[in-house]
Amino acid sequence: MNNDLKIVVVDHPLLQHKMSLLREKQTPVAMFRKLIREISLLLCYEVTRDLPLTTYAIETPVAPMDAPTLAGKKVCFVSILRAGNGLLDGMIDLIPGARVGHVGLYRDAETLQAVEYYYKVPQDIGERLTIVVDPMLATANSAVAAVQRLKDGGAKNMKFLSLLAAPEGVRAFNKAHPDVPLYTGALDSHLNEHGYIVPGLGDAGDRIFGTK
């Protein structure tokens, strides 16, 4: 039924196991943060699978060799505030030299439209693979607006990574930005009347930061 959707669902068993723990409504804040950090490592592994490599000459204790190393400029992660920061921390653990940008957006509770309040990204973002992170792709209004803002700011080579996605959001994002590949930990059933992902995990920002 969702065959028309262009999205990579990372279905590694460890990730799916941790996602279930994360979704449980009684999972406390400290555990939620720990799980999201662990999950972000697994997602980062998949979203960076095709990073280009080159080689350089090294000597092991046994012999010289041409050893693989990442080619080109360091990647840039862009976190959509504030819940994006929950994914960002684990990603930086895996790529400590990554550059980081922030786009501050919140979703208006009535209109579900994205409202921007902050924007700061590396000047040379156009020369870097840019991985935009936000745990929730619901209507995709936030993701579509953030990616458009980044394109207007010069970003050229982007991927978008979420923890959970709804089919409605994937369809909208594919239509708005067919050139930006989507990755997610799970593709859920649908959105409810408040624009929340079902079954989902609730409000990601509130669960990461304990604000409700």
> Structure tokens of 146?
């953030």
- Catalytic residue, from 54, 124, 206, 211: name it: 206
Nearer residue to ligand URA within complex by CB, 9 or 70? 9
Closest Cα partner for 43 from 187, 185, 200?
185
In contact, 177 and 147? CB cutoff 8 Å: yes
> Structure tokens of 181?
């590949």
Using CA atoms, how far apart are residues 120 and 28, in angstroms rounded to an integer? 32
Which position among 106, 116, 127, 149 is part of the footprint of ligand PRP (CB under 6 A)?
106
Cα Rg, the chain, nearest whole Å: 18
Site map 126..165 versus ligand URA, x via CB under 6 A: ----------x-x---------------------------
β pairing state of 114-120 and 99-107 = antiparallel
Nearer residue to ligand PRP within complex by CB, 126 or 181? 181
- Catalytic residue, from 107, 128, 134, 184: name it: 107
Question: Can 60 be counted among the known catalytic residues?
Answer: no
Site map 187..206 versus ligand URA, x via CB under 6 A: --------xxx--x--xxx-
Question: Can 49 be counted among the known catalytic residues?
Answer: no
Give residue 158's identity as a one-letter amino acid code: M
> How many residues interact with ligand PRP (rule CB under 6 A)?
23
- Catalytic residue, from 55, 111, 124, 211: name it: 111
Question: Can 111 be counted among the known catalytic residues?
Answer: yes
Question: Can 206 be counted among the known catalytic residues?
Answer: yes
Closest Cα partner for 101 from 53, 170, 149, 141?
149
Q: Which residues bind ligand URA (CB under 6 A)?
A: 136, 138, 195-197, 200, 203-205
